[in-house]
Amino acid sequence: MSVRAQGPVGVAIAIFFIFLWASAYVPSKIASTQSDPLWFLALRFATAGSILAVLARVYGNVFPRTLRGWLVAGGLGILANSLYLGLTYTALHHLSSGMGAIIASTNPLVLGLVAPKLLGEKLTMRKALGLALGFGGVIAVVLARGGSASAAPGDVLLAFLGVCASVASTLLYKRAAMGTSLLAINAIQLIVAGLVLVPVAFLTVGTPHAHITPELIVSFAYLVLVLSVGASLIWFWLLSHGEASRVSAFYYLTPVFGLALAALILHEPVHASDLVGLAAIAGGITLVQRA
């Protein structure tokens, strides 16, 4: 039985993915403050990619048979990991984890604006209204927090450029229509992402160093196993079974989970204005899914 990303099971999987994705902002904040972010990411990607490569071999998954396939998989790694997470981690060195989650939720709007032309996905009035309403909710929260030190313009710009790189990776994956197994694709893109970050880290921060703590070790294990391995596989499955603009609309839920987890674990405050914005976000997702 084929499961569509817009069906009840697909929606549940999409919400679970966003919960996992949002949960990354707390350990990512820990990693960005207790280690060199780029070196941390390079090690994270190399470790996760190696795990997936072994699993792909064990289960007999097919790796790309053409140079184009390898280039596409490598391009996904550079866009979705090296650039997206590299820029995001750099921003998170000063940006609050809750604000990082909010900026990440602009992904659906950016993708929704380019998907009609680049992916041929219809932009109906209801879908456009839903995207606008969801983005309005994000803006409401950003404006309410914009005067704080946790939302400096330079850090916000870095995080948003990371979002643009993530959108580009989605477009590349959908247009390439790769038939290679998800395990193989993820293994290649993660290993390439790690290799690309090594010289960048050397040039920008020098030799690696970190303040090893139990929190940093747990954060590393969680980000490798749950995010780089588990959540990445879920994301590519969702893209393979549904329209990119509909699937990405669930990114608007990122601040819902991100702010809640940041408040619970890092004791970051949640304001009444946040709740108003999050209500608009929920309404926007509903409109997009019913379009």
Residues 6 or more apart whose CB falls under 8 angstroms from that of 60 comprise none
Summarised one tens digit per residue, pLDDT across range 98-116 is 677 678 778 888 888 888 8
Average of per-residue pLDDT across 81-107: 80
The backbone torsions φ and ψ at residue 7, rounded to the nearest 5 degrees and listed phi first, read -80, 175
CA atoms within 13 A on the CB side of 11: 8
Look at residues 250, 238, 231, 236 and name the one whose alpha carbon lies nearest to residue 169: 236
Q: In sequence order, what DSSP letters do the residues of 92-139 get, joined into one string? A: HTTS-HHHHHHHHTTHHHHHHHHHHHHT-----HHHHHHHHHHHHHHH
Average of per-residue pLDDT across 252-266: 72
- Residue 51 pLDDT > 70, yes or no? yes
Give the least confident one: 26-30, 43-47, 227-231.
26-30
The Cα 63–Cα 61 span in angstroms is 7
Label residue 1 by pLDDT band (50, 70, 90).
very low
Label residue 168 by pLDDT band (50, 70, 90).
very high
Label residue 2 by pLDDT band (50, 70, 90).
very low
The Cα 40–Cα 208 span in angstroms is 9
What is the reported pLDDT for 11? Answer: 78
The token duo for 253 is 């839920």
Label residue 77 by pLDDT band (50, 70, 90).
very high
The Cα 237–Cα 256 span in angstroms is 23
The Cα 238–Cα 277 span in angstroms is 26
Cα 28 to chain centroid, rounded: 12
The backbone torsions φ and ψ at residue 178, rounded to the nearest 5 degrees and listed phi first, read -75, 135
Q: Interhelix angle for 214-222 vs 25-34, to 10°?
A: 130
Reduced to 3 states (helix: H, G, I; strand: E, B; else coil), residue 210 is: strand
Instruction: Among 5-14, 141-150, 181-190, name the most confident range.
Output: 181-190
- Residue 9 pLDDT > 80, yes or no? no
Q: Interhelix angle for 232-240 vs 8-23, to 10°?
A: 150
Of all residues in the chain, the percent with pLDDT exceeding 90 is 26
What is the reported pLDDT for 291? Answer: 62
Of all residues in the chain, the percent with pLDDT exceeding 70 is 88
The Cα 269–Cα 80 span in angstroms is 30
Of residues 213 and 10, more confidently modeled = 213
What is the reported pLDDT for 124? Answer: 82
User: Taking the alpha carbons of 267, 80, 248, 157 in that order, is the dihedral positive or negative?
Assistant: positive
Cα 169 to chain centroid, rounded: 10
What average pLDDT is seen over the chain? 82
Average of per-residue pLDDT across 220-247: 84
Give the least confident one: 88-92, 121-125, 137-141, 283-287.
137-141
CA atoms within 13 A on the CB side of 195: 11
Do 5 and 247 touch, CB atoms closer than 8 A? yes
